[in-house]
Amino acid sequence: MSPNKSSSRFVSFPRLKKSFVYAAAGVVFTWKNEQNFRIHTVAAAAAFLLAQVLRVPLIEQAVLAVAVGAVLCLELVNTALEHITDVLIQTYDERAKIIKDTAAGGVLVFALTAAVVGGMIFIPRIVHILF
């Protein structure tokens, strides 16, 4: 790789812009092709809307945002791992199944964790309103 002018600068804004465009393309691809990513995104939007309706304090909304962001991030990483596995192993292989299953399991574990966080934030408020 030969050095160029943009590599000597601390920040190359054209390269930075390209990296954001590529990252956005990955998010769009995942949205279009992965049902669970869409489900988690819609659930996240609902959670943030509910947080506004229930006037959840900002610090708790920040905790919610971290949990939601982690779930969406893990979905993106899971999608990448699935595609890498498909490229490298093009026939059925138990090892490929393990790779895909464990990556999906990571998403599941954190999605359940995020649901617990949401429950801890929302359930007491909903109970207070109802009773």
pLDDT tens for residues 36-67? 999 999 999 999 999 999 999 999 999 999 99
Region 88-116: mean pLDDT is: 97
**Nearest CA among 103, 115, 96 for reference residue 34:** 103
Q: What pLDDT is attached to residue 114?
A: 98
User: What percent of the chain stands above pLDDT 70?
Assistant: 95
Catalytically active residues, by annotation: 75
For 25, 50, 61, the CA distances from 55, given in Å and listed in that order, are: 34, 8, 9
